[in-house]
Structures are given as structure tokens and as C-alpha cells.
Amino acid sequence: MLLLLVIPVFVAWQVLNYLMNNTDPTVAGRPLSNVKTHLHQVALGGKPGIIYLGTHFGLFISTDGGRSWPQQRGILNTMMIMNIAVSPANQQVLAVIGRPTSGIGNQAGIYFSSDGGENWHLGAAPASLSPSAYLFTVQAGVANQGNFYAFYEYGGWYETRDMGAHWHPITSGALSGMQTPSLLTDPADPNHLLLGGDQGLFESRDNGSHWNPIKAIIRNWPICLCLPHQRALWSMLQAAHCMVCRGKTCGPQTIAGQHGSTAGNSTGET
């Protein structure tokens, strides 16, 4: 008699526990149908139709422009997928920032995939990283398919060219503390970088070993510039919506060749 009472109570508890803790989509093909989840980031793949959704419980992938999402549950579903980067050299190579949804489970960090998201490995953390550093963003570079950049608050920018096996800093000193930073890479030259933020706009032609301030940029009032030999960078700046002049959107007339030389002496950042 006691057993007959215990069994339904146990089954009811299991069902309730499943409903309370299940993070899978409640409607097949709709990644955000579970009320416990929400979207962190959406990113386009390198091929038409590929869309990545970074959610509070994993990564979802569509190959038909979002019409279908075949995953029954998110990839890395114990992780919040905060940021997604796709290599322009090989669209099968991905990097995401993952943070555990609870105090247990996978370790926080940058996860890499070389097969379009089927398999993942956790990249190493930069060796010189401060314990107070907070991983903020990851983005793809153009040097090779394993080239990615990561920004850490209270740590600065780091680069890897082997999918997170090794990292080296590309900023130091004051530039590592720059707030709201944006990094642009030249598609024609992986060593040519632009870094902008609350301290102004800086340029490096040696992959971050030295940075030169672009003096025509007024601090806190960014103006996008283009020199005759920087047409590729101008296209990048346009794509990044950097055509801003004193807080108001400006047209291509913002190009400031008339301001003379824009790059000053090296900041000494090495």
C-alpha cells in the first residue's frame, strides 16, 4: 500500500522537476519558445542562409535563413552564448564566448569550433591576464582561419592565430584601459589595425606593437577619416557606421584629407 502511494508522488516530483528545470525549446523549431531563455546575440554565417543565435541556454543554427532550427536543444546548452565570431577565411571556424548558466558545468571562456559548430573546445586564457580581467568580446581577424581578437575589461586586447591555443597582447598601458573600444582590421593587411574608444582613434601598422594617435579625431567626438591610400579602411569604417561628426550622422564629406597628416607620433604603447 505504501509503495502505491510513493510511486505517483515520485513520478509527480520528477515531472515537476523536469518542467521547472528544462531549458529546451518548448516548441520544436522555435529556439526562444522556452520562457526561461532569451537572446544574447544573432550573427550571420559566411554562407547565405546561415544564422547563429546565441541564447541564454546555448547556440542554435539555421541553414535556411531562419525558417527552421533543427536543434532540439541548444549547442553548449549549459552555457550562455554571449558573443559569436565567424572566421572570414573559413566559415566553418567559429568562436563564441560562453558563460555557465549556473555555478556548475562548463568553464567560462572562449570556445572554438572548426566544423561549423558540431564540436567545440575551450581555448586557453592569455598567460599574462590579470585576475580582475573580464572577457567582454571576441571578433574574427583576417590573418588566417584561426585568427581572433578578444577584449578583456581591465586587461586590454589580445590576439590568437591558432584558435585560442596561444594569445599575445596587442595593447598595453593606457590603451588597455580604453572604454567602449572598437577594433577594425584591414582585409588587405592583417597587421594594419584601427582602435577607437573614449581615448580617441589609434592606428597600428605592426599588429599592435606600436599605436599612433590619429590627431584629427577629437576625443569623445569621433570623426571618421580616409586618406588616399586607405580606401579599404574607409569602406570598413562606412560598414561599421563610424561616419559620425560631433554626435550627428555625417556623409562622405566627413573624409578629412584636407586636415593634413592625421597620424601623430607613436604613443609608445608596445
What digits encode the pLDDT tens for the residues 143-170? Answer: 999 999 999 999 999 999 999 999 999 9
Q: Which amino acid is at 51?
A: I
52 with 159, same domain: the answer is: yes
Query: Considering the domain boundaries, does residue 174 fall inside one?
Result: no
165 with 193, same domain: the answer is: no
What is the band of 229 on the pLDDT scale with cuts at 50, 70, 90? very low
192 with 161, same domain: the answer is: no
User: Rounded to an integer, what distance in angstroms lies between the CA atom of residue 256 and that of residue 225?
Assistant: 5
Alpha carbon of 9 to those of 4, 120, 172: distances in Å?
9, 40, 61
70 with 152, same domain: the answer is: yes
pLDDT digits (tens, 9 = 90+) for 57-113: 999 999 999 999 998 889 998 899 999 999 999 999 999 999 998 766 678 999 999
* Range(s) of the domain holding residue 61: 36-169
164 with 197, same domain: the answer is: no
Q: Which amino acid is at 72?
A: Q
User: Nearest to residue 170, comparing CAs of 188, 153, 158, 187?
Assistant: 158
154 with 193, same domain: the answer is: no
The last residue of a domain, from among 111, 145, 169: 169
Query: Considering the domain boundaries, does residue 209 fall inside one?
Result: yes
Asked if residues 88 and 142 have their Cβ atoms less than 8 Å apart, the reply is yes
Residue 22, C-alpha cell as written in the block = 528544462
Query: Considering the domain boundaries, does residue 125 fall inside one?
Result: yes
Half-sphere exposure at residue 247, Cβ-oriented, CA atoms within 13 angstroms: 1
83 with 155, same domain: the answer is: yes
Other residues' Cβ atoms within 10 Å of the Cβ of residue 48: 9
Query: Considering the domain boundaries, does residue 27 fall inside one?
Result: no
Query: Considering the domain boundaries, does residue 15 fall inside one?
Result: no
